[in-house]
Amino acid sequence: MKNHQQNKTPFFTALKDYGEKNVAPFDVPGHKLGNIPNDLQKYMGTKVYKLDSNSPIGLDHLNKPTGVILESEELMAKACNADKAYFITNGTTIGILAMILTACKANEKIILPRNVHKSVINALILSGAIPIFIKPNIDKKLGIANDITYDKVAKAIKENPDAKAVFIINPTYFGVVSDLKKITKLAHDNDMLVIADEAHGAQFYFSEKLPVSAMEADADISALSMHKTAGSFTQSSVILCKGERIDHHRLRSSLNMLQSTSPSSLLMASLDVARKTMYFEGEKRIAKTLENVKETREKLKKIPGIKVIDKDYILAQKSYDYDETKIIVKVSDLGLSGFEVYKLLMKQSNIQLELAESHIVLAVITIGTTKAHLERLVQAFKKLSNEFYKQRDKLPKIDFNYQFPEAYARPRDAYHAPKLIVTLEDAIDEIAAEQVMIYPPGIPILIPGEIISKEVIDDIKFYMKKGSALQSDLDSNYISIVDKENWIKWED
Ligand SMILES: Cc1ncc(COP(=O)(O)O)c(C=O)c1O
């Protein structure tokens, strides 16, 4: 039975009323509800400006909500089977920083997979927590890192009984999930918090046909990017909490330290209405979407040179479960890399994919994906197959060992150490002082404090050669390392 209270959109409704009531605005923002016409306004109309307000009377304050924002957060919490929700207008990136700052003080341990998003590494730098990394399941055929197994978590917990928290990605960028329920039970039995990264899992809250959500698994806290898969504006996310273990005072102060004091009202309104739509329509529309995705997978499977990954494949790799709204397509048998296909699909067929790796590409499907979009995807792959299959040699098997660099120092220590800037070649065997990653997916190849191996440098060069978006703080041929001679390593 649906709860009719979920029809309410307290924040959006109050914001709309405010925009319509002809206020004489002597506050910020300076566009004064749309009184400085510009090209964007001409294109979008004034309405969107009328909805862009910064905490006037009646619209509550995100940093300490007591009115309509709180009401909307409460509805979000109820819709997601959580005890409390916090709106975020700076993405799950900030949610992750706040969750880890809440759970761990400096030098406290946190157990986590190595294939975490860069925001997790930044949270380690900010908090000073000590990472206990678990190597994820590696799919060598596809060249991707997946979930972590219960057994590996159990081992890490046993070896680190003093750890404060276990951090789980639910699901990974590619849609693979761990046995979160079982892991949560074990962590709780060992007095550890369970923190979830659900940047790619907001849809789990609105369908029984998808893997278990963090709140359903009784995890303590989770950040979800409603904007990625549940229809709200980019950068709007939510933190959900369950149970008694979270220190809400610390969470509030962490969020207030990290978030803007001028949170976007448009983003908050978009969270409010996305929750309502997903609550009432999600179940049905996700079921329909999954049917469409199944049909699409069947069609893709018939295309020569294309391999489409399905749940059976993922389960056969001993992963726990799979979010079927992610379509992974292996393209290397066409003689093309994922990076080439990513570009070709846009050039030839006007199709934007989510990301590419050396042998695969990823398409993210939501209830906003139409059947016509899916059909275009199929046709685009047919076109590629006609053009390239058997015209080129298949790409060689991936030499994907998933480097797991040795850690020498806490990320925070390396980050604050004196630094030298050297060429990639000169960095071998040195200690990294910065993160290097390709984006997307934004999973660091190297993090501060890790020893830079030759293999890692080879990986970086490989990605540079493929023209993928390599992100680091410096120009791509240089890297920042710890100046060991002038470094007093913080022991203890
Ligand atoms: C696994 C993972 N976690 C966290 C994030 C950060 O989410 P957001 O973009 O909402 O800040 C991302 C973004 O891509 C991600 O892939």
Compute the chain's Rg from CA coordinates: 23
| Type of residue numbered 110 | I
Q: Within 6 Å (CB) of ligand 1, which residues are found?
A: 91-93, 96, 117, 119, 169, 173, 197, 199, 225, 237, 441-442
Minimum-distance ligand 1 atom for the alpha carbon of 225: 10
Q: How far apart are CA 112 and CA 391, in angstroms?
A: 43
Residue of 222, 165, 227 lying closest to 197 (CA atoms)? 222
Minimum-distance ligand 1 atom for the alpha carbon of 172: 1
CA dihedral in degrees (465, 467, 472, 474; nearest 10)? 70
pLDDT confidence of residue 180: 98
pLDDT confidence of residue 492: 44
Closest protein CA for atom 13 of ligand 1: 199
225 C-alpha vs ligand 1 centroid, how far in Å? Answer: 7
DSSP 224: E
18 C-alpha vs ligand 1 centroid, how far in Å? Answer: 32
Q: Which helix (H) or strand (E) holds 293?
A: helix 265-301
* Number of C-beta neighbours around residue 275 at 10 A: 31
CA 199 to chain centre: 4
134 C-alpha vs ligand 1 centroid, how far in Å? Answer: 19
pLDDT confidence of residue 211: 98
pLDDT confidence of residue 52: 97
* Number of C-beta neighbours around residue 465 at 10 A: 9
195 C-alpha vs ligand 1 centroid, how far in Å? Answer: 14
pLDDT confidence of residue 172: 97
Residues 6+ apart with CB under 8 A from 209: 286, 287, 290
List, in order of start, the domains of the chain with CATH numbers. Answer: 4-278 (3.40.640.10), 283-388 (3.90.1150.150), 411-486 (3.90.105.10)
In sequence order, what are the beta bridge partners of 165?
Answer: 110, 193
Q: Which two tokens stand for residue 144?
A: 């991707």
C-beta separation of 119 from 409 below 8 A: no
Averaged over successive runs of 10 residues, the pLDDT of the chain (492 residues) comes to 96 98 97 96 95 97 97 98 98 98 98 95 96 92 92 98 98 97 98 98 98 98 98 98 98 97 98 98 98 98 97 96 98 95 98 94 98 98 96 77 78 95 94 84 86 90 74 78 86 49
